[in-house]
Amino acid sequence: MKISVSYLSSKYDEEKTIKLIEQTNADYIHVDLMDGGFVSNKNFTIEKVHHLLINHKKPLDIHLMVFDPIIYVHDLSILKPEVITFHIESTKDVVKTIEEIKKHGIKVGLSIKMDTDIYELMPYLSLIDVVLIMSVNPGRGGQTFMMSSIKRLNELQKIREENHLSFLIEMDGGINDEIIKLVSSLDIAVSGSYICKYDDYQARIDKLKEEV
């Protein structure tokens, strides 16, 4: 399992947190971008994200919690992210947005909120690289993992197997060294406050990796 570290909820400012993540063996930096519309918090402008991440070394796993994600793709492509994930609930143009991300040579992720039926992903699963299952309500770090996400993970794995599909499954929200044991079949786990609220980033990442 790969670990993607979210710097949204952290002891230090974003600049220092990103530097500390870069010093670990985390697999990705998880970049949570919120527009104050799709979720109530707002935390970015394109200029700010460029400033923070233009010299990144680790692969970027961008998680867009915004309406009309298509309008950000071109500007974000300058950061050469590994994957851009957007929410199935955030646009009517899901296929168009998938195509736009692909056109820039970037992998595509589709995220789904807790209360959206997992079967709504069906028409898109053969077109995308990653499904990001939310295990909290999107919008802020430090929330409690919702146990019902485990059933959703199992269901999605069954769908992937039965349809011979190859997308990766990522989960986001409330993952710590206890929860990780319950979702050990994930391909990618996002973890934020469990790591970034403390000083021992690498020890915490080691702990996550040794539990699976």
The residues of the shown chain that bind ligand DX5, judged by CB under 6 A, are 6, 8-9, 30, 32, 63, 136, 138-143, 172-175, 190-194
Q: How many CA atoms lie within 13 A of 186 on its CB side?
A: 33
Q: Give yes or no for a contact between 189 and 170, defined as CB atoms under 8 angstroms apart.
A: yes
Instruction: Name which of 162 and 196 has its Cβ closer to Zn ion.
Output: 196
Instruction: Name which of 122 and 200 has its Cβ closer to ligand DX5.
Output: 200
Cα–Cα distance measured from residue 171 to residue 132, given in angstroms and rounded to the nearest whole number: 5
Residue-wise burial string across 22-46, b where 16 or more C-beta atoms lie within 10 A, e elsewhere: eebebbbbbbbbbbeebbeeebbee
Partner whose footprint covers residue 175, from Zn ion, ligand DX5, none (CB < 5 to 8 Å by kind):
ligand DX5
* 81 class by beta-carbon count within 10 Å (0-12 exposed, 13-18 middle, 19+ buried): buried
- The reply to whether 32 sits near Zn ion by the rule CB under 5 A is yes
* Active site residue ranges: 32, 172
Cα–Cα distance measured from residue 40 to residue 55, given in angstroms and rounded to the nearest whole number: 29
CB of 152 to ligand DX5, least distance (A): 16
Of residues 47, 23, 13, 16, the one with CA closest to residue 33: 47
- The reply to whether 140 sits near Zn ion by the rule CB under 5 A is no
Binding piece for Zn ion, criterion CB under 5 A, among 10-18, 57-65, 74-82, 158-166: 57-65
- The reply to whether 172 sits near Zn ion by the rule CB under 5 A is yes
| 4, containing H or E segment | strand 2-6
Partner whose footprint covers residue 90, from ligand DX5, Zn ion, none (CB < 5 to 8 Å by kind):
none
Of residues 171, 148, 186, the one with CA closest to residue 211: 186
From 4, 52, 53, 63, residue interacting with Zn ion (rule: CB under 5 A)? 63
Partner whose footprint covers residue 81, from ligand DX5, Zn ion, none (CB < 5 to 8 Å by kind):
none
Instruction: Name which of 40 and 163 has its Cβ closer to ligand DX5.
Output: 40
CB of 135 to ligand DX5, least distance (A): 8
How many of the chain's residues bind Zn ion (CB under 5 A)?
3
